Structure 1
Amino acid sequence: MTAAARPLPVALLLPGQGSQHPRMAAGLYGHEPVFTAAMDEFFDAAGPEGGPLREDWLAERPATDMDHVTRSQPLLFAVDHALGRLLLSRGVRPAALLGHSIGELASATLAGVFGLRDATGLVLDRVRRLAEAPPGGMLAVAASTAEVTPYLSGDVVVGAVNAPRQTVLAGPDGPLDKVDRTLREAGFTCRRVPSLSAFHSPVLEPACRGAAERFAAVDRSAPSVPVHSAYTAAPLTGSDIDDPAFWARQPVAPVLFWPALEGLLATGDHLLVEVGPGQGLSQVARRHPAVRRGTSAVVSLLPARPGPPETDRSALEAAMARIETAGHPPDRPTARPPDRRTAGPPDRLTA
């Protein structure tokens, strides 16, 4: 990746369910002031739930399974958002955002659609509801949606379209296990996604009833930069933002990440920066023709696999060096975190 007279605009990719792992990005906590402050703001906004969330996030062996909805969803949201804030503090100004699953809510918060405190309350309300849903899971299949559709049964549905030949199924545990076995016997490669819930399937619909009222009760604003929705495969519109049901149904609706990525790159080539744990979205993005021909590029902010704290820090600095080489010289890190009493404005991106 080389610098050019007109650098590629930056688009942030924010991952969702399946990317979580113990101590994700924790190597930056206490080391990167802006990241630390943003995480602390989230824990403070979470009220009594903030302490247990922080303890489990920083623990080698969390008291609550990190794949459980009460841990994976709020901590993914918090880490995605805090990493986005860190990039902003380094002078990176994204031209677009695209989140996967809970990453869409983090994207909307970074762009100022929701304030952090309101968004935190909405995430926690969501996970309390989903924790009461029947147990289920998700299954990644190396196949197209057309190939897997004939094998679906027992409330198992297509939960996400991540790439032309990467489809994620979702449903109750028993039927999902049966579909898994049938697909493997038919020669398909399958892998269970780390999740204890059937995200993006009708199984969760009863648990989401009433959530729209919570979204209706909070302020929502137009995004300061385009947020490409993985639920509509298009930039968020005023109608989307104003519709509480649009946000409330996201745990039930399928994720159309690949169509959304195609829509984003149809607007022009971008430097795609994955802002979250792991490199799952980076791996998907590298399959896109624009990246394969070298006109767009991909940078991952964190390492592909969990490791000691130093790996988070070295991965971040390597990513910042690549972003600088691509024509986006970063600002120097601030010496101290921002005053929390004035932390509202950094939640909103500015062009």
Structure 2
Amino acid sequence: MTEVALLFPGQGSQHVRMAAGLYGHDDVFTDAVDEVFAALGPEGPAVRADWLSDSPAVPLDHVTRSQILLFTVGHALGRMILSWGVQPAALLGHSVGEVAAATLAGVFEVPAAAELMWHRVQELASASAGGMLAVAATVEEVASVLTDEVVIGAINAPRQLILSGPEAPLAEASAKLRAEGRTCLRVPATSAFHSPALAEAAARCLPSVAAAQPSPPKIPMVSGYTGRLLTDTEATDPSYWASHPVEPVRFWPALGTLLGPDSPLSVAGRRVLVETGPSQLLAKAARIHPTVRAKEASVLAMLPARAGGPDADLTAVAACREAVEMAG
């Protein structure tokens, strides 16, 4: 028996016209995207226009576009997979991808999720400018540059970290790490996600999350923040969701849970992980996990890493669907 888990990527995965090749060509995807845009009210048409444009009026790296569109695309791709007759055994989201996963799992209704996401990005946009830095190093190797301002924002793999912080301190940390011979790359972001810099903005998001009335998930979820199975208590606690912009993402520990003995996935069955978003970043990280390297699980990505020709998205999704069906 084959069991499928969906991986929803987050900040840094966005790019111009991500998944746009599916819009108007796949009814399930199109309807799911339009449902979110409709829930955004008068802001919806502008967000849609920027998503479909080669030269968006508001850059997609800006928090008011990246976060809402990553949520929208991830959720719509998840709905596509459900329409194939696939019932995921587990979901794992990275950063804002966890909100997309939660909505697919029924924690949030789509209109409520869209509203809380829009409120969240407005609050985050009001915070001081910051950034994120991908570093090829272990936690111990970056310890010398960590401060109250520059923190570990994500652990994506043993030697794949994200540092977050205000612009000036983050630039200093980058310079020091480069001088030590470390490979560093700025993540496309205009905010210091998953750092204390967003604490005040995150606190202001609590009422909108409470208003969304989160419910227990109908599909098992692994928390990208605790690294463990998401409990019903956590899923229904507004403070859990409101704290996401401040808390570090523990993707690698969460992946270990997803592929470990306590996973919702059966150890005895064939396990397939599908990156359900506009990148292949999570798939790339998952492929170095010992369980995947031992061929005890396989990894697929729904879409190209970057926008291609007019049929690239449709071709990639068709190939992914065929691979999932063959695995079954």
For the aligned pair, the TM-score class normalised by the smaller chain equals over 0.9
Residue equivalent to 2:251: 257
Residue equivalent to 2:91: 97
Residue equivalent to 1:289: 290
C-alpha distance in 2, partners of 1:315/1:217?
A: 37
The answer to whether residue 82 in structure 2 is matched with residue 88 in structure 1 is yes
Residue equivalent to 1:199: 193
C-alpha distance in 1, partners of 2:313/2:258?
A: 28
Superposed CA RMSD in Å reads 1.0
Deviation string, structure 1 residues 102-160 (Cα, Å, up to 9, x no partner): 00011010000110000000100100000000001000000111111112236110000
Residue equivalent to 2:8: 14
The answer to whether residue 29 in structure 2 is matched with residue 35 in structure 1 is yes
C-alpha distance in 1, partners of 2:309/2:126?
A: 34
SS in 1 for 2:58: coil
| 1:153 and 1:179 in contact (8 A); partners too | no
**Once the 2 structures are TM-superposed, how far is the Cα of residue 46 of structure 1 from its aligned partner?**
0.6
Runs of 4+ in 1 over 4 A off after TM superposition: none
SS in 2 for 1:309: coil
C-alpha distance in 2, partners of 1:215/1:40?
A: 22
**Once the 2 structures are TM-superposed, how far is the Cα of residue 212 of structure 1 from its aligned partner?**
1.2
SS in 2 for 1:234: coil
TM-score normalised by length of structure 1: 0.90
Residue equivalent to 2:119: 125
- Of 126, 134, 140, the match for 1:140: 134
The answer to whether residue 203 in structure 2 is matched with residue 209 in structure 1 is yes
**Once the 2 structures are TM-superposed, how far is the Cα of residue 72 of structure 1 from its aligned partner?**
0.1
C-alpha distance in 2, partners of 1:264/1:277?
A: 21
**Once the 2 structures are TM-superposed, how far is the Cα of residue 179 of structure 1 from its aligned partner?**
0.5
Residue equivalent to 1:172: 166
- Equivalences for 1:49-60 in 2 at 5 Å? 49-60=43-54
The answer to whether residue 235 in structure 2 is matched with residue 234 in structure 1 is no
**Once the 2 structures are TM-superposed, how far is the Cα of residue 321 of structure 1 from its aligned partner?**
1.1
Q: Match of 2:128, as an amino acid?
A: P
C-alpha distance in 1, partners of 2:170/2:129?
A: 11
Q: Match of 2:28, as an amino acid?
A: V
Deviation string, structure 1 residues 215-269 (Cα, Å, up to 9, x no partner): 1222222111111110111111122122211110100100000000000100236
Residue equivalent to 2:146: 152
- Of 213, 232, 242, the match for 1:219: 213
C-alpha distance in 1, partners of 2:145/2:216?
A: 41
Q: Match of 1:321, as an amino acid?
A: E
**Once the 2 structures are TM-superposed, how far is the Cα of residue 211 of structure 1 from its aligned partner?**
1.4
**Once the 2 structures are TM-superposed, how far is the Cα of residue 323 of structure 1 from its aligned partner?**
0.7
Deviation string, structure 1 residues 49-70 (Cα, Å, up to 9, x no partner): 1010000000000000110000
C-alpha distance in 2, partners of 1:305/1:244?
A: 34
Residue equivalent to 2:276: 275
Instruction: State which drifts further: 65-74 or 241-250.
Output: 241-250
Residue equivalent to 2:239: 245
The answer to whether residue 321 in structure 2 is matched with residue 320 in structure 1 is yes
Which structure has the higher relative contact order (CA within 8 Å, separation 6+)? 1
- Equivalences for 1:66-85 in 2 at 5 Å? 66-85=60-79
Q: Match of 1:236, as an amino acid?
A: L
| 2:149 and 2:166 in contact (8 A); partners too | yes
Residue equivalent to 1:109: 103
TM-score normalised by length of structure 2: 0.96
| 2:192 and 2:198 in contact (8 A); partners too | yes
**Once the 2 structures are TM-superposed, how far is the Cα of residue 203 of structure 1 from its aligned partner?**
0.4
Residue equivalent to 1:310: 311
Deviation string, structure 1 residues 149-205 (Cα, Å, up to 9, x no partner): 112236110000000110100001111111001001001111111101100000011
Name structure 2 gaps, 5 residues minimum. Answer: none
The answer to whether residue 185 in structure 2 is matched with residue 184 in structure 1 is no
C-alpha distance in 2, partners of 1:278/1:227?
A: 21
SS in 2 for 1:200: coil
C-alpha distance in 1, partners of 2:155/2:203?
A: 25
Q: Match of 1:292, as an amino acid?
A: R
C-alpha distance in 2, partners of 1:307/1:181?
A: 34
Q: Match of 1:78, as an amino acid?
A: T
| 1:291 and 1:297 in contact (8 A); partners too | yes
SS in 2 for 1:270: strand
C-alpha distance in 2, partners of 1:325/1:20?
A: 29
Count of residue pairs brought into register by the alignment: 321
Q: Match of 1:294, as an amino acid?
A: K
Q: Match of 2:24, as an amino acid?
A: G
